[in-house]
Amino acid sequence: MLLRTFGWSLGITAVGLALAGYFWGAKGVALIAILSVLEISLSFDNAVINAGILRKMNAFWQKIFLTVGVLIAVFGMRLVFPIIIVALTAKLSPYEAVKVAIDDHKRYEALVTGAHPAIAAFGGLFLLMIFLDFIFAEREITWLTWLEKPLSKLGKLDMLSVVVAMGALVIAATTVATGVPVHGGHGSVDKGETVLLSGVLGLITYLVVGGISGYFEEQIEDEDEEADAELDAEREADREAVPSPERSGATVSQVAGLAGKAAFFMFLYLEVIDASFSFDGVVGAFAISNNIFQIALGLGIGAMYIRSLTVYLVRKGTLDDYVYLEHGAHYAIGALAIILLVTIKYEVSEVVTGLIGVVLIGASYWSSVVRNRRVGKKSEQTEDKPHITTGV
């Protein structure tokens, strides 16, 4: 299963490193390898979040995520998106932006870095909303119960996550967005208005894409409930019917996963999440290389592994076996959202960002293992207890 799931990633890695060696020599191979590891370390929590969403979708849309989604992630977000940002912020034509990216690496780096406050505000607010909607929701299983239980009660207040996110944006726009250092250390600028506008756009994007996908998902759930009711009625009428997938307690749509409009908007939601995660990787990559093609290739290889890891988690049912993993991933998202807002003005090492995610997910994984052992022991003790029966 490992080879089947990660085969494409391994193949693309081999091709990518071979191209790096051909064009840039041994140094290029080393740079591509470092960029790939950077992307994987920064986006590991992304794989867990994506897996939680992807497992709701049917096999067709899972394949779309691995094919079309990879093209969007690699070429769209790691290659085309930075050029579009440069074109918009520097008021250049797309052709001129591409020319700068190819011919003037230092200027291209400066332009992308200069656009970082807007990018960080957009991605930060989008990711913050994901975290807040998770932490304010009521759920049967809690990891940090002392924190999650009180927050879930507060979450009953309508639109609380939006209010908190907007409050965080206003604080960021009036504090870290003032006196932002110019790339190269020559003075500072006020980016408050830019940060405020970009953050609002990130919030709107989350509400629109997430709201539409949620709407269609609820529609399918309602249809499933109606279908279950009809099937129950049929069973009552004919108890001797031959069991079938449709009569086993799960509807066809539940077995197959989300499809149609619901899956399409869920796919868009996944891509926006991936884009938000990729922002810090793209900007942080300039600490390693300012060559647009090296960045795209290195981060693209890393993105392939994240995609493969997502599918692996879905197929293995890892999130069902290790129930706190999603909690850890969402806490990592919350931390990344705050870090993105902080980096509007202050530099935060990619090592710190990556380690925070790894530590939180590692802790949630270990907590899941401990829980599973505890539950397993309780089950064994229950089975070993003698059953005392009394006769009349």
State residue 65's pLDDT score.
Answer: 81
State residue 211's pLDDT score.
Answer: 81
Task: Look at residues 219, 15, 209 and name the one whose alpha carbon lies nearest to residue 129.
Answer: 209
* In contact, 17 and 33? CB cutoff 8 Å: yes
Distance, CA of 92 to chain centre: 31
| pLDDT tens digit sequence for 163-202 | 999 999 999 999 999 888 876 656 788 889 999 999 999 8
What's the pLDDT band for 15 if we cut at 50, 70, 90? Answer: very high
| pLDDT tens digit sequence for 209-261 | 878 777 776 766 666 566 556 666 666 666 655 444 444 444 434 434 566 77
State residue 384's pLDDT score.
Answer: 61
pTM, full prediction: 0.78
One DSSP character per residue, 301-367 reads HHHHHHHHHHHHHHHHTHHHHSTTHHHHHHHHHHHHHHHHHHTTTS---HHHHHHHHHHHHHHHHHH
* In contact, 371 and 324? CB cutoff 8 Å: yes
| pLDDT tens digit sequence for 333-375 | 899 899 989 988 888 887 788 788 889 999 999 999 999 988 8
Extended beta strands in the chain, E state? 180-181, 188-189
| pLDDT tens digit sequence for 88-115 | 877 888 889 889 888 888 888 888 888 8
Q: Cβ neighbours of residue 193 under 8 Å, at least 6 residues apart?
A: 173
Q: In this structure, what token pair is assigned to residue 374?
A: 């505890």
* In contact, 308 and 12? CB cutoff 8 Å: no
Distance, CA of 157 to chain centre: 26
* In contact, 274 and 50? CB cutoff 8 Å: yes
Quote the percentage of the chain above a pLDDT of 90: 23
Domain range annotation of the chain: 2-377
